[in-house]
Amino acid sequence: MLNITNLFGKSPIAPLQVHMGKVASCVLKLPDLFKALKSQDYVKLQKLADEISTLEHQADIAKGDIRNNIPGKLFFSLSRSDFLEMVDTQDSLADAAENISVLLTLKKLELPPSFIEPLDAFLKKNIEAFHLAQDIVKELPDLIEYSFGGIEAAKVRLLIQEVALREHEADVLQLALLKALLEQDTTLSVGSFYLWQKIFQEVGMLSNLSEKLGSYFHMMLEKP
């Protein structure tokens, strides 16, 4: 197995992409997590939550390797501190996935029928935003090769715009979910009401953080 520290040659780009792969392994388990909740398979739900926790820890290790081995000066248009903040933002996506899994396993939550369709749409929209952010990170080597200009820069700018659009669409869907939640305020227990509110917030973090990740690439494109 290739150790992440061996990937540090000329730049931290390859380790960043390795880290994103580990983050993705956390985030992309969320649809299965909610599917288990929908079928009230709480044993599978806990198993998936445990897997996400393990994967999140692996992402943390990868993040630590990046922070410990990053060169003092980068050769592309982003400061070392901004790059480290970008790594933290990327890692926060794995944290959000783990937070969701923890919240879903604190008690045997029931999924109100009025939540099913809007929650599916909300999760899907947030996952779409994440996939776009993942695509942006994949483009970084080509961006560097083409000096952050030309067709490659235009391609990344379009991806950044698409992430922002998905984040906006996710916000609209989240508002609809919150309205559905408030309609359940007399039927849900206080604990369940609180958990659902937190779950919606954490799912929404996926698109928020994806948009924030895109903003770092926007900074690189706009710097002279």
Report the pLDDT value the prediction gives residue 4, as an integer from 0 to 100: 37
Nearest-angstrom CA–CA distance, 133 and 159: 8
- Do the domain assignments include residue 2? no
Average pLDDT taken over every residue of the chain: 90
CATH of residue 204's domain is 1.20.58.220
Mean pLDDT within 5-21: 73
Residue 1 falls inside a structural domain: no
Q: Which domain holds residue 143?
A: 11-222
- 5 assigned to some structural domain: no
DSSP string, 13-31: HHHHHHHHHHHHHHHTTHH
Note the pLDDT of residue 77. Answer: 66
pLDDT digits (tens, 9 = 90+) for 16-43: 999 999 999 999 999 999 999 999 999 9
Closest CA relative to residue 88, chosen from 221, 222, 4, 213 = 213
Phi, psi of 177 (to 5 degrees): -65, -40
- Note whether residue 124 is domain-resident: yes
Within a domain: 129: yes
97-139 confidence digits (pLDDT tens):
999 999 999 999 989 999 999 999 999 999 999 999 999 999 9
Q: What Rg, from alpha-carbon coordinates, does the chain have?
A: 19
143 domain residue, yes or no: yes
Confidence at residue 41, expressed as pLDDT on a 0 to 100 scale:
96
Residue 6 belongs to some domain of the structure: no
User: How many structural domains comprise the chain?
Assistant: 1
Residue that the structure tokens 């879903």 belong to: 104
What global pTM score does this model have?
Answer: 0.91
Whether 54 maps to a domain, the answer reads yes
Write b or e for each residue in 120-148: b if 16 or more Cβ atoms lie within 10 A of its Cβ, otherwise e.
Answer: ebbbebbbbbbbbbbebbebbeebbeeeb
Give per-residue pLDDT as tens, 51-85: 999 999 999 999 999 888 887 666 566 778 888 99
Q: What is the DSSP letter of 221?
A: H
103 versus 143: the higher-pLDDT residue is 103
CB within 8 A of 28, min separation 6: which ones? Answer: 127
